[in-house]
Amino acid sequence: MSQASDEELRERAEALRHGAFDNDTLAECFAVINETIRRRIGAWQVFDPAYVHSDISRYRDAAHDLTGTDKTIAETLAYVSEESASRYFADIDLPAEFYGAVRESSLADALRFEPTDEQIAAGRLMLDRTVVEMDAGEGKTVAAAFPAITQALSERKVHVITANDYLALRDAELLAPAYEIPRPDGRHCAGSHGRR
């Protein structure tokens, strides 16, 4: 999956749509979701103007004469900056070469995000309708994405609910690109959750 472009990942997800999920197709579905999360929570940090890394200025400053993978990263930064002015951020697809360039760059460690085995296992259990308890900081947001997206690819309506408005907004923004793999209507609802 890491050699695929964003467009190819979307195409693979689309090919999975409507089908019954046996173990093989479920594994492929989780692989597509995993790669999308890795990219959008990991490598896509580089597009956040607030992102700080000692080497980032050389990619953002056009005055630097870059070659090879460094040039690929700099050109992609400029492309995303331009495209995001007129397109929804989650709709911008990038080539596989960008992700390969990031993996080879000095930014690689800082931009790496890997869903843990525990998050993936929790997602699988939730998909099997098992209640999963996770402590604060163990990655409930990421774990919940796996069954939610899988269900959406199966053409089922999905609602991801959290206890407070802050978490709803944060999670919706953080994982919007992943939730849009199946092109659902990924919105969050905020409001008073007081007792009635």
From the DSSP assignment, how many helices (H) and strands (E) are in the chain?
A: 8, 0
Q: Which residues of 96-121 are buried (b: 16+ CB within 10 A; e: fewer)?
A: bebbebbeebebeebbeeebeeebbe
Q: Mind listing the pLDDT tens digit for each residue in 1-43?
A: 889 999 999 899 888 887 677 888 899 999 999 999 999 889 9
Provide the CA 66 distance to its chain's centre, in angstroms. Answer: 28
Q: Residue 133's CB: how many other CB atoms inside 10 A? A: 7
For the segment 64-69, the average pLDDT, to the nearest whole number, is 86
Q: Between residues 64 and 194, which one has the greater pLDDT?
A: 64
Rounded to two decimals, the pTM is: 0.83
